[in-house]
């Protein structure tokens, strides 16, 4: 019985483009969706996505799924250098029968851990670049990617029993910083909020991210300050400093200079000239 | 809070995945003789395996796969080799759901990209063990596995090219390939390979690039990073620097950059992604 197996499978799908790119804060990029689906996943930095009706800010580990109506354009700008993956595809509908399983995919999700999605997206890019790539493989990989987004939306209660790894602890600190950096927060406040000993938390964070929590807060604030300087050409530096959690403007100037090697005014002047 | 709505997708598949595992040879015993009511895909990741199905025997080497049918008697034709490891997955195929694509899975195949197949199995088994595997992902992972097996090269490379000069090119490319496979742990370069094989480096580079589609140096990196992926998955005790050294990088920083460029992940992230795997020995 020397025979193989032959299986008929549906493949209601047409790949359009797939890429991984780094976007400089000064650059803009626009993507035509024109009736297709567009999936964006940010692996590093912050990406701002503007459609006709909304503006969305995606940070590292977040994914966005858009369905373009006819001839819709999406424009991308980055805060710091954002590394992101982008897939565009079309689904060809077949006469569907009742009882076809439906996969509910959230249009926006935080993937945890993000490596699970990075790994699949990287495979998608590799498969697509093979000389005679199989559309069926690509389609199956796409469904896996969508399943990954669907499960990100529904965190399981059972997962909380597991001992959190340093990476999870560091991610919680990052999330806490992202939520509160506009206020006057410090390492102690974060430790209290997350119920950890401050010294342990500091050690764990430094081991995982290579910087102190204090420094991470500064970097998050300065990232926001850069975006504000680019967006709001006429606000005063003091206003921007206050918006980013610094009550003392001269302290803000010093930190900004240290992190970006430029003064806020110089940064704004250069950005304005270039755009 | 994230404002979020959801998009519904219709997903049609005729495959239903059951369970999967990694079998590690206990060094004695033989695969049980049995009849099961599902298909089984076997993928030998180490050593060799000798099976039979309804009177036909199959000798499988590393990186080879075998498809077993429901309702047919199968079992081990020889005792387990002491170093044998294989992945297995059981699945069902629903008839009549139809579709525009056909996947042809050979009975026995040598897979072209064993890393990808291994990682699919690892992902499947890890999700299965943590209780987070949903039926839709499972079905599509198995379909991807079958697609990979269906792309296997059953025909030897040499018989594919017709012209005489092309034949020479593919022979040369294969020589480079096997030289890299044997020597990637040492500090080799395009010119050192050319010297060893006694060819002009530019000529060798041109021929290799035309045949394989990547430069010789990139082929060395791809080989090293593939070896590193395998080490990171299996050797939990080696630290990242040791992994770098054992696949031919003297500079761990350079290794990390290369790994990130080729896989999108840092070595550490990759290890944590593939660290959990269920093993059975019976």
Cα–chain center distance at A167 = 17
pLDDT of B43 reads 96
pLDDT of residue B37: 86
Residues of chain A neighbouring B11 (CB-CB closer than 8 A): 100-103, 143
Per-residue model confidence (pLDDT) at position A2: 55
Q: Is the pLDDT of residue A64 over 50?
A: yes
Mean confidence (pLDDT) of chain B: 84
pLDDT-derived band at B158 (thresholds 50, 70, 90) equals: very low
Q: For residue B198, is pLDDT > 60?
A: yes
Give per-residue pLDDT as tens, A144-178.
999 999 888 654 444 444 556 777 788 778 878 87
In whole angstroms, give the CA distance from residue B164 to residue A137: 34
User: For the residues B168-174, what does the mean pLDDT come to?
Assistant: 83
Among B15, B56, B98, select the one facing A1 at the smallest CB separation: B56
Cα distance between residue B237 and residue B242, in whole Å: 10
pLDDT of the residue at B279: 54
Most confident region among A24-33, B53-62, B225-234 by mean pLDDT: B53-62
The predicted pLDDT at position B277 comes to 52
Which chain A residue is nearest to residue B6, measuring alpha carbons?
A106
> Which of B219, B223, B224, B222 is CA-nearest to residue B207?
B219
Task: Give the pLDDT of residue A31.
Answer: 81
Sole residue written with tokens 């001839």: A71
> What separation in angstroms does the CA of B209 have from each of B79, B153, B191, B218?
44, 20, 15, 10
Q: What is the pLDDT of residues B82-94, one digit of tens each?
A: 888 899 999 999 8
Answer whether A107 sits within 8 Å of B265, measured CB to CB.
no
DSSP state of B58: E
Indicate the DSSP class of residue B159. G
CA angle A57, A185, A108 (to 5 degrees): 20
pLDDT of residue A209: 85
Q: Chain A contact for B140, CB < 8 A? A: yes
Token pair 């006429």 is at which residue?
Answer: A234
State the Cα–Cα distance between residues B134 and B141, nearest whole angstrom.
Answer: 11
Q: Which of B38, B107, B105 is nearest to B70 (CA)?
A: B38
Shortest distance between the Cα of B13 and any Cα of chain A, in A, equals 6
Give the span between the Cα atoms of B106 and B103, in whole angstroms.
Answer: 10
In whole angstroms, give the CA distance from residue B67 to residue B107: 5
Q: Counting Cβ atoms within 10 Å, is residue B99 exposed (0-12), middle (13-18) or buried (19+)?
A: middle
Residue that wins the pLDDT comparison between B236 and B180? B180
- The pLDDT score that the predictor gives to residue B66 is 95
Provide the pLDDT for residue A188: 92
The Cα–Cα gap between B223 and B220 comes to 5
Residue B98 touches partner A, C-beta closer than 8 Å = yes
Q: Which residues of B touch A128 (CB under 8 A)?
A: none
| Per-residue pLDDT, A41 | 93
pLDDT above 90 as % of chain A: 20
> Which residues of chain B are within 8 Å of residue A113 when distances are taken between CB atoms?
269, 272-273
Query: Does position B68 have pLDDT exceeding 90, yes or no?
Result: yes
Using the predicted structure, report yes or no on whether residue A231 has a pLDDT greater than 70: no
Q: Beta strands A55-59 and B56-60: pairing type?
A: unpaired
Q: Which residues of A touch B263 (CB under 8 A)?
A: 119, 122
A131 vs A19: which has the higher pLDDT:
A19
**What pLDDT is recorded for position A94?**
58
φ, ψ for residue B22, nearest 5 deg: -115, 125
Give me the residues of B, 199-238, that contact A with CB < 8 A.
213
Instruction: Express each pLDDT in A234-259 by its tens digit.
Output: 678 888 888 888 989 999 999 999 98
Q: In which element (H, E) is residue B259 found? A: helix B252-263
**Mind spelling out the 3-state secondary structure of chain A?**
CCCCEEEEECCCEEEEEEEEEEECCCCEEEEECCCCEEEEEEEEEEEEEECCCCEEEEECCEEEEEECCCCCEEEEEEEEEEEEEEEEEEECCCCCCCCCCEEEEECEEECCCCHHHHHHHHHHHHHHHCCCCCHHHHHHHHHHHHHHHHHHHCCCHHHHHCCCCHHHHHHHHHHHHHHHCCCCCCHHHHHHHHCCCHHHHHHHHHHHHCCCHHHHHHHHHHHHHHHHHHHCCCCCHHHHHHHCCCCCHHHHHHHHHHHHCCCHHHHHHHHHHHC
Report the range out of A219-228, B162-171, B175-184 with the highest average pLDDT.
B175-184
Q: How confident is residue A74, by pLDDT bands cut at 50, 70 and 90?
A: confident
Alpha carbon distance B32, B5 (integer Å): 50
Q: Which of A143, A165, A210 to mutate to test the interface with B (most CBs of B within 10 A)?
A: A143
**ipTM score:** 0.76
**Cis status of the peptide bond prior to A113, with omega within 30 of 0:** yes
Chain A: give the shortest CA distance to residue B39, in Å.
10
Cα–Cα distance for residue pair A44/A30, rounded to 1 Å = 19
CB contact under 8 A, B144 and A122: no
Chain A residue closest in CA terms to B72 = A1
C-beta of residue A231 within 8 angstroms of C-beta of residue A85:
no
Is residue A185 scored above 80 in pLDDT? Answer: yes
pLDDT confidence of residue A77: 83
- Indicate the DSSP class of residue B31: P
Q: Cβ(B199)–Cβ(B191) under 8 Å?
A: no
Looking at the predicted structure, is the pLDDT value of residue B243 above 70?
yes
pLDDT of residue B23: 84
Minimal-distance CA residue of chain A relative to B272: A115
Of A106, A122, A147, the CB nearest to B134: A147
d(CA B144, CA B133): 16
Rounded-to-10 torsion of CA B246, A130, B64, B174: -70
Beta strands at B85-93 and B56-60: parallel, antiparallel or unpaired: unpaired
The region of weakest confidence among A22-31, B142-151, B159-168 is B159-168
* Contact between A156 and B72 using a beta-carbon 8 Å cutoff: no
- Please state which of the ranges A37-51, A171-185, A203-217, B47-61 shows the lowest mean pLDDT: A171-185
pLDDT band for A11, please (50, 70, 90 cuts): confident
Strand B49-53's sheet: what is its strand order?
A: B56-60, B49-53, B74-76
User: Minimal Cα distance from B143: which residue of A?
Assistant: A140
* Nearest Cβ partner for B11 among A6, A65, A103: A103
Say whether pLDDT at A103 is over 60: yes
Look at the block and give the residue holding tokens 């045949």: B211
Residue A270 predicted with pLDDT over 80: no
Both structure tokens of B135: 């039926």
Query: Across the A/B interface, how many CB contacts are shorter than 8 Å?
Result: 175
Half-sphere exposure of A199 (CA within 13 A, CB side): 0
Residue A265: predicted pLDDT: 86
Locate the chain B residue with the closest alpha carbon to A102: B10
Chain B residues closer than 8 Å to A153 by CB: 4, 6
For residue A233, what pLDDT band results from cuts at 50, 70 and 90?
low
Cross-chain CB nearest to B103 (options A7, A116, A156): A7
- Please indicate whether, in this complex, the C-beta atoms of B143 and A9 are within 8 angstroms of each other: yes
A156: nearest CA in chain B? B132
Q: What one-character DSSP code corresponds to residue B157?
A: G
Asked whether residue B184 carries a pLDDT value surpassing 80, the answer given is yes
Grade residue B236 by pLDDT with cuts at 50, 70 and 90. low
Compute the distance between CA of residue B133 and CA of residue B142 in angstroms, rounded to an integer. Answer: 12
Nearest C-alpha of chain A: how many angstroms from B196?
30
pLDDT at residue B202 is higher than 70: yes
Residues of chain B contacting residue A93, judged by C-beta atoms under 8 Å apart: 10
Mean pLDDT along residues B125-142: 85
- Write the residue in B53, B72, B146 that is nearest to A7 by C-beta: B146
* Residue B172 CB-density burial (10 A; 0-12 exposed, 13-18 middle, 19+ buried): middle
Contacts of residue A194, defined as CB under 8 A and 6 or more positions apart, other chains included, come to A169, A172, A173, A176, A201
- Inter-chain residue contact B136 with A103, CB threshold 8 Å: yes
The two structure tokens encoding residue B4: 């979020």
């Amino acid at each position: 019985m020397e025979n193989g197996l032959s299986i008929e499978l549906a493949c209601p799908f047409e790949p359009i483009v797939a890429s991984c790119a780094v976007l400089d804060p000064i650059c803009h990029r626009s993507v035509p969706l024109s009736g297709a689906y567009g999936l964006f996943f940010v692996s590093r930095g912050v990406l701002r996505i503007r459609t006709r009706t909304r503006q969305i800010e995606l940070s590292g580990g977040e994914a966005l799924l858009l369905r373009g109506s006819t001839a819709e354009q999406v424009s991308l700008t980055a805060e710091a250098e954002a590394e992101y993956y982008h897939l565009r595809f079309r689904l060809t509908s077949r006469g569907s029968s009742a009882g076809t399983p439906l996969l509910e995919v959230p249009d926006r999700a935080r993937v945890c851990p993000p490596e699970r999605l990075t790994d699949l997206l990287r495979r998608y890019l590799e498969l697509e670049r093979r000389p005679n790539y199989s559309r069926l493989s690509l389609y199956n990989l796409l469904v896996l990617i969508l399943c990954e987004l669907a499960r990100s939306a529904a965190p399981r209660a059972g997962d909380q029993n597991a001992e959190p790894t340093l990476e999870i602890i560091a991610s919680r600190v990052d999330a806490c910083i992202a939520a509160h950096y506009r206020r006057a927060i410090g390492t102690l406040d974060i430790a209290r909020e997350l119920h950890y000993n401050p010294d342990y938390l500091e050690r764990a964070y430094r081991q995982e991210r290579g910087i102190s929590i204090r420094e991470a807060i500064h970097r998050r604030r300065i990232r926001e300050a850069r975006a504000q300087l680019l967006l709001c050409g006429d606000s005063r530096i003091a206003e921007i400093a206050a918006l980013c959690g610094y009550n003392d403007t001269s302290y803000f100037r010093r930190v900004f200079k240290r992190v970006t090697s430029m003064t806020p005014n110089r940064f704004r002047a250069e950005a304005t000239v270039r755009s | 809070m994230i404002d979020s709505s959801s998009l519904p997708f219709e997903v049609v598949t005729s495959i239903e995945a059951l369970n999967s595992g990694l079998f590690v040879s206990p060094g004695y015993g033989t695969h049980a003789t049995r009849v099961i009511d599902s298909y089984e895909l076997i993928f030998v990741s180490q050593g060799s395996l000798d099976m039979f199905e309804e009177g036909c025997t199959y000798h499988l080497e590393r990186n080879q796969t075998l498809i077993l049918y429901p309702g047919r008697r199968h079992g081990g034709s020889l005792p387990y080799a002491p170093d044998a490891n294989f992945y297995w997955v059981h699945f069902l195929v629903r008839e009549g759901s139809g579709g525009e694509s056909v996947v042809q899975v050979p009975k026995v195949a040598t897979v072209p990209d064993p890393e990808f197949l291994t990682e699919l199995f690892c992902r499947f088994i890890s999700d299965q063990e943590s209780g987070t595997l949903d039926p839709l992902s499972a079905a599509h992972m198995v379909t991807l596995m079958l697609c990979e097996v269906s792309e296997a090269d059953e025909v030897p490379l040499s018989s594919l090219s017709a012209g005489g000069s092309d034949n020479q090119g593919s022979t040369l490319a294969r020589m480079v390939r096997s030289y890299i496979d044997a020597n990637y742990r040492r500090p080799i370069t395009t010119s050192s390979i050319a010297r060893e094989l006694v060819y002009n480096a530019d000529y060798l580079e041109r021929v290799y690039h035309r045949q394989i589609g990547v430069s010789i140096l990139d082929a060395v990196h791809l080989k090293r990073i593939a070896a590193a992926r395998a080490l990171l998955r299996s050797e939990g005790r080696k630290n990242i620097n040791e992994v770098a050294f054992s696949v031919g990088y003297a500079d761990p920083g350079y290794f990390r950059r290369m790994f990130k460029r080729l896989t999108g992940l840092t070595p550490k992230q990759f290890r944590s992604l593939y660290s959990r795997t269920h093993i059975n020995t019976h």
